[in-house]
């Protein structure tokens, strides 16, 4: 009887498959008004970052348009609350074109900062080298 129960439990585990980690999505609207200090940029954009909690890897999709000068760089910055500036955490490319896609593994500390809402996406242009548009990454509803 015990062997039969063990066999049934083993089969159930086999068919149940692996346990999957959660994917948590973060979004940001990228605007000139969110820059610190705000800019008069004509650009706009959106960022979506997905965190895989099992692998601690983020993947991103960033789109932007409408700039009056060339895009020179894009980054994820942190840790900083909205209205504050911080250094680059994840470079998204030099002279990138929209859309930007990529992925990177985060450290435990970086993952905690992301989940605490302390990261933002910034797109830099020739006319606004410190940042033309920006958006704070917040957990998607």
Give the CATH number, domain containing residue 95. 2.60.40.200
In this prediction, residues 37-57 reach a mean pLDDT of: 97
Q: Is the residue at 48 inside a domain?
A: yes
Q: Is the residue at 37 inside a domain?
A: yes
> What tokens appear for 106 in the block?
């985060």
Q: Is the residue at 33 inside a domain?
A: yes
**Whole domain around residue 115: which residue ranges?**
21-139
Q: Is the residue at 3 inside a domain?
A: no
Q: What is the DSSP letter of 95?
A: S
Q: Is the residue at 36 inside a domain?
A: yes
Say how far apart CA 54 and CA 3 lie, in whole Å: 34
Q: Is the residue at 12 inside a domain?
A: no
- Burial (0-12, 13-18, 19+ Cβ within 10 Å), 119: buried
> What tokens appear for 123 in the block?
């797109």
What predicted TM-score, i.e. pTM, was given to this entire model? 0.85
Hey, which bits of the chain come out as E strands? 23-30, 44-52, 57-65, 71-77, 88-94, 100-105, 120-125, 133-136, 138-139
Q: Is the residue at 63 inside a domain?
A: yes
Q: Is the residue at 6 inside a domain?
A: no
Tally the domains of the chain: 1
- What is the per-residue pLDDT across 48-93, written as a single tens digit (0 to 9) for each? 999 999 999 999 999 999 999 999 999 999 999 999 999 999 999 9
For residue 4, pLDDT beyond 80: no
């Amino acid at each position: 009887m015990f062997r039969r129960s063990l066999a049934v439990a083993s089969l159930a585990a086999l068919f149940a498959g692996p346990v999957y980690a959660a994917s948590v999505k973060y979004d940001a609207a990228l605007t000139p008004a969110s820059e610190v200090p705000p800019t008069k940029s004509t650009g706009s954009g959106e960022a979506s970052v997905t965190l895989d909690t099992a692998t601690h890897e983020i993947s991103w999709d960033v789109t932007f348009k409408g700039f009056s000068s060339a895009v020179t760089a894009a980054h994820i910055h942190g840790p900083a609350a909205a209205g504050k500036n911080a250094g680059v955490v994840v470079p998204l490319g030099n002279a990138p074109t929209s859309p930007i896609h990529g992925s990177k593994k985060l450290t435990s500390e970086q993952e905690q900062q992301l989940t605490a809402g302390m990261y933002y996406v910034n797109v830099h242009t020739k006319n606004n080298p410190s940042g033309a548009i920006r958006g704070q990454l917040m957990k998607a509803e």
